[in-house]
Amino acid sequence: MGQEFTLLLIVFEYGAPLFGLIFKRFTRMRNEEQDRYLASWRQSGIPFKRMGFQALKRIALTAYYASEESWTGIGYAGPWLSRGYPHSYQGHGIVNLR
């Protein structure tokens, strides 16, 4: 799996000239050029490019939302267990079955 992802990154980074869009690699493009390049992958008639776009998108979203810095912007208070239980539990109504 790691080798396929590495290959995807290489093709994505250096593929623009091969696909006839622009003679720059992705990280050297201006923002508008990057947007067009990403859209060409998302809307491509080539299944590899569409699947590659979805894989890169999902990895980017996972990395972004896993970062604590993004949590306040989306209203996420963090992992539930680390926040503790919101009510003090006194154990009322529990029957000891022993």
pLDDT digits (tens, 9 = 90+) for 57-66: 999 999 999 9
The answer to pTM > 0.75 is no
How far apart, in whole angstroms, are the C-alpha atoms of residue 16 and residue 96?
68
Contact 26, 12 (CB under 8 A): yes
Predicted confidence at residue 63, as pLDDT, reads 93
Is residue 82 pLDDT above 70, yes or no? no
**pLDDT tens-place string over residues 13-41:** 998 988 876 889 999 999 999 999 999 99
Predicted confidence at residue 26, as pLDDT, reads 93
